[in-house]
Structure 1
Amino acid sequence: MCFVMLIGCTNDNKQTKFQTLLDNEWQRGLDENPIYASYMGDKRANQDWPDISETAVRDRQNKVRDILQQIKSIDPKFLPESQQLNYRLFLYNYERAVSAQKFDTHLLVFGQRGGIQLEHETTEGLTFQTEQDYEDWLVRLTKLPALISANIELANIAIEQGITAPKILMERVARQIKLQLKEDPKTSPFYNIFDSIPGSIDAKFKLDIQQRAQTVIMDEVIPAYEVLDKFFTTVYLPAARESYGISDLPNGREWYEQLARWHTTTDLSPDEIHEIGLSEVARIRNEMENIIEALNWQGTFDEFLQFLRTDPQFYFETPEELLQEYLATSKRIDPKITRLFKVLPRTPYGIRSIPKESAPDTTTAYYMRPSADGSRAGYYYVNLYRPEVRPKYEIEVLSVHEAVPGHHLQ
């Protein structure tokens, strides 16, 4: 009897320890990344940016290593079946995180798909429903120069260690930085959120915060981007590498192998993954040729591809037409999902166009998940830049991947 009670107490202690560890790590993630916390609906640090300094990064890495040891100290056999999968995933993710610490990914500061040069796009994931939400964002903008300086400090360390991005991509970043250099603050991308304050917000407050926003943007934000522009064009861009692959960086080949494992969640080598890719290309090519034959196409395979890429019937002329087709396609897909899935998310999703500042340099589409508290929907972002190169026939497959039953159901 006592032995049974002892086992029961041991099990309870292990379960409590594991759950506490999960809860504490979730909270640490929110505390260390105020932007992520805001995205999740936690607004306790809604006026702050994350600390990206080298010291803070190393401190977080030490904490992750410590947490991994704590995870390993828990024997999963004492956990209930409902927690077994959580344990394996938790352990797997922290083992991956620790193994990735060897490669200083945080020193690849700049990227053409997002980053400090496009920081105004942070508002895409925030909720603006109250006067305080706008006040919080304005305070965050006053702290943006410090965040820009922190990025420059990391970039200097990166140059010293030879960890820089390809010049061909950094030339795009240079263009994006210059989009922030405005003479009129009302034309700044950072002013967009203040220019679209809804009628539900008090009119007097709206006028007041718009005036204050113009002052902050003109006196603090734009000068900070002028500093970044000078650094980037005179220091970082000249130091950017002419090569493309990550294998040219320190420990680059090993880094590439680690990334292959990370993104495929397998232990396959890059060569093995490449062989799978070649076999898939051959399979898809065979299916395409069968379709071409069924259509009685009289030309070659390459000519058929050229036909798909250039014939006007496959493209819209305007961004508005392209967006309407994305909307219509999603509406056709939505009701069919109930036939395939028993449990569906309560939180809806919407469709937005990718911001014009990043649209020329990013993917055709991507997804932003909803906030944890349900205050913000998920969003399926579509690229409307140059509709003449975005074929109609890719809309359906993109929609089922990016929205439902793709990322929105994840």
Structure 2
Amino acid sequence: MFKHLLLAALIAAIPVSTLRAVETPPAVSDSATKQALDAFFAAQWERGLRESPENATYNGDKRFNDRWSDNSIQAIGKREAEDRAALEQLRTIDREALAAADRLNYDTFEWQLEHSIAAQRFRGYLQPISHQGGIQTADGIAEVLSFASTKDYRDWLARMAAMPEQVDQAIALMKEGVKAGSVPPKVVMERVPAQIAAQIVDEPARSPFYRPFTRFPDAVPESDRKALVADAQRTIREKVVPAYRTLQAYFNDEYLPKTRDSIAVTDQPDGADYYAYLAGYYTTTDLKPAQIHEIGLKEVARIRAEMEKVKAETGFEGTLAEFFTYLRTDPKFFEKTPEALLERYRSVAKRIDPELVKVFHTIPRLPYGVRPIPDNIAPDTTTAYYMPGAADGSRPGYYYVNLYKPETRPTWEMIPLSLHEAVPGHHFQFARALELPDAPMFRRTAYFVAYGEGWGLYAERLGYDMGLYDDPYDRMGQLAYDMWRAVRLVVDTGMHSQGWSRERAIEYFMDNSPKTRQDVVNEIDRYISWPGQALAYKIGQLKISELREKAARELGPKFDLRAYNDAVLETGSVPLDVLEKHIDAWIAAQE
């Protein structure tokens, strides 16, 4: 999973029922029409960066690094109106005069706008804080800032100074949410007070916002450093900490008591429609929650049978449940310190790198690194995540790993986890998209969850083709991760559409997976707070695997796995239906 809460504004998808019928486009776009389309895309990209300075930061554009998004009700309404106007403007451009590549760009942007406009009804912005992130973890954006010059530090100081306004806007949204009956579940929001408290420090140098000032590059003159440090300490003392005290008072005393006891999104206003919408949004399919639930049950049964075989191969004589307990508890499967765990992750990444040529012809140019998840969010976040590199190549991609409680981080999960989050999973998918020739920026940075997470889960199985699963415990790790995503289909739909309790979901997960309880509880709480997103992984993987089998069957000896994998990535992130049409055309070309 890439760092979703920081990049949520990049995600866009639409149910495939809205896809256009296949048409024969002209060989070359009409010149004037293409110019109009390209100008429209450029203007909309610029609007997106201007309205979301955070997105600009993640894409390596420093122009807006001294500010945050305006999250006032008025500004949100203005952005929504601009989305509606943009869709009207796009539809004035003659799609029929465009060649295939430009039609794909046109259709993709249209889907993004249509989805954004359809989402306006549900007013998701009224819940601006999640236990996995929000204003209380705003310092996290510093992870992707370069801090290469005095101006970079001044920009960060400006963002720090603006925290009171940001907090006020978040509180205003939460108050409006309370009025509208749109509040998150109490069981997950009970994690947030500790996150807010971590921002309230007596000594400014202990603030998470202060980290960049603990070291300076050579490009920052010594004469500037003392002033920067003094300004940082003053800003934290006078702006940042008071702002978080205000947030703490409102959240703990007023908001948390008004959060809801139920966990299902269907208990919110328009909740049933919202969940059905989210299922289509994240999977980019027309599948209904009940259908997805059944797919999950079948996948769980299939993977359990595979686990029984691997258990027998290890010589373990107990039940599968006993084997799970053994995998969760035996000391030989765990590192003793965070430092040793980080070194183990980095060693796994180095082991994977030279094997990539076995499954790809094309290796992306952008490098990646392995970093620990920041301590202030590690207890409440996932096992790992990926942060894409900058669009201009100025920042590599990063694979972030969770070092909190190393006794809960089994080593048998490291290979599939690294294949998914780093290479050839999310890093390949994002880096290859940035290298799309002549594509507009929104296409190079697009992220459809079913494609991206489906690819990440598919990449875990590429470990077999790369010769990485020679140890049966590593193979059990791969099956555990496959099971993890199958279980998601069952428990996400179970909790949000079939009346399951949180406890039932946790126990179902524990019964069918060797993942530790620490991970399982964090995962279940993630599904509660982010309904529908977890459905995309397995649905996307099943489609990519199905297309691979189809290509191998139809091409026979002409099938080249490396060429197939390249073909999947060469579209950039697209809905699954678009990917299927592309692979069908690729098969025909190979034949």
TM-score (norm 1): 0.95
1:337 equivalenced with 2:356 (yes/no): yes
Asked which structure has the greater RCO (Cα within 8 Å, sep 6+), the reply is 2
Change (3 A) 1:342 1:198: same
What is residue 122 of structure 2 aligned with on the other side? 103
Name the structure 2 match of 1:272.
291
How far did 1:174 drift?
0.9
SS at match of 1:44: helix
Cα offset for 1:148?
Answer: 0.8
The one of 375, 385, 390 aligned to 1:366: 385
Identical pairs, percent: 44
Q: Judging changes above 3 Å, is the alpha-carbon distance between structure 1 residues 9 and 244 closer, same or farther for their aligned structure 2 residues?
A: closer
- 1:232 equivalent to 2:251? Answer yes
Residue 62 of structure 1: aligned partner: 81
Contact preservation (8 Å) 2:149, 2:217: no
Change (3 A) 1:115 1:9: closer
Listed as ranges, the matches of 1:63-78 within 5 Å are 63-78=82-97
Contact 2:28 2:98 in 1 (8 A): no
Q: Among residues 133, 144, 154, which one is paired with 1:135 in the alignment?
A: 154
Q: 1:388 aligns with which of 380, 392, 407?
A: 407
Q: How does 1:138-287 map to 2 (within 5 A)?
A: 138-287=157-306
* Aligned residue identity for 2:338: P
Q: Which residue of 1 aligns with 2:320?
A: 301
Do structure 1's residue 398 and structure 2's residue 421 form an aligned pair?
no
> Hey, what's the Cα distance between the residues in 2 that align with 1:210 and 1:242?
44
Q: State the shift of 1:10 in Å.
A: 8.9
**Stretch moving more, 63-72 or 303-312:** 63-72
Q: Which residue of 2 aligns with 1:357?
A: 376
The one-letter code matched in structure 2 to 1:131 is T
Amino acid at match of 1:322: L
| 1:8 Cα deviation from its structure 2 partner | 11
Determine helix, strand or coil for the equivalent of 1:381: strand
Aligned-partner SS, 1:367: strand
Amino acid at match of 1:190: F
Q: Deviations over 1:36-61 (max 9, x none)?
A: 11222222222111111111111111
Q: Which amino acid aligns with 2:220?
A: I
Return the alpha-carbon distance in structure 2 between the equivalents of residues 195 and 9 of structure 1.
55
Q: Which moved more, 1:173-182 or 1:39-48?
A: 39-48
Query: 1: CA distance between counterparts of 2:29 and 2:232?
Result: 57
Q: Secondary structure of 1:163's match?
A: coil
What is the CA–CA distance in structure 1 between the aligned matches of 2:329 and 2:117, rounded to whole Å? 47
* Contact 2:389–2:396 under 8 Å retained in 1: yes
Q: Give the distance between the partners of 1:342 and 1:8, measured in 2 at CA.
A: 28
Does the 8 Å contact 2:27/2:100 carry over to 1?
A: no
Residue 554 of structure 2: aligned partner: none
Q: Does the 8 A contact of 2:204 with 2:236 survive in 1?
A: yes
Question: Which of 138, 143, 146 is equivalent to 1:124?
Answer: 143
Pick which of 253-262 and 335-344 moved more: 335-344
1:409 and 2:428 correspond? yes
State the AA in 2 paired with 1:84: R
Offset, 1:344: 2.6
* Counterparts in 2 of 1:10 and 1:185: CA distance versus 1, 3 Å: closer
Flag the 1:294–1:89 CA change in 2: closer, same or farther, 3 A: same
CA distance in 1, matches of 2:265, 2:29: 48
Give the match for residue 19 of structure 1: 38
**CA shift for structure 1 position 119:** 1.1
In structure 1, the partner of 2:110 is 91
Q: Distance in 2 between matches of 1:346 and 1:9?
A: 30
Amino acid of the residue matched to residue 302 of structure 2? R
What's the TM-score, normalizing by structure 2? Answer: 0.66
**C-alpha deviation, 1:200, in angstroms:** 4.5
Q: Displacement of 1:298 after TM fit?
A: 1.3
Taking the aligned partners of 1:186 and 1:328, their CA distance within structure 2 comes to: 33
Structure number with bigger Rg: 1
Number of matched pairs: 404
Aligned residue type for 2:280: R
Partner SS state of residue 80, structure 2: helix
SS in 1 for 2:148: coil
C-alpha deviation, 1:322, in angstroms:
0.8
Which residue is 1:3 aligned to?
A: none
Q: What is the distance in 2 between the residues matched to 1:337 and 1:356? A: 32
Q: List runs of 5+ in structure 2 lacking aligned partners.
A: 1-25, 430-591
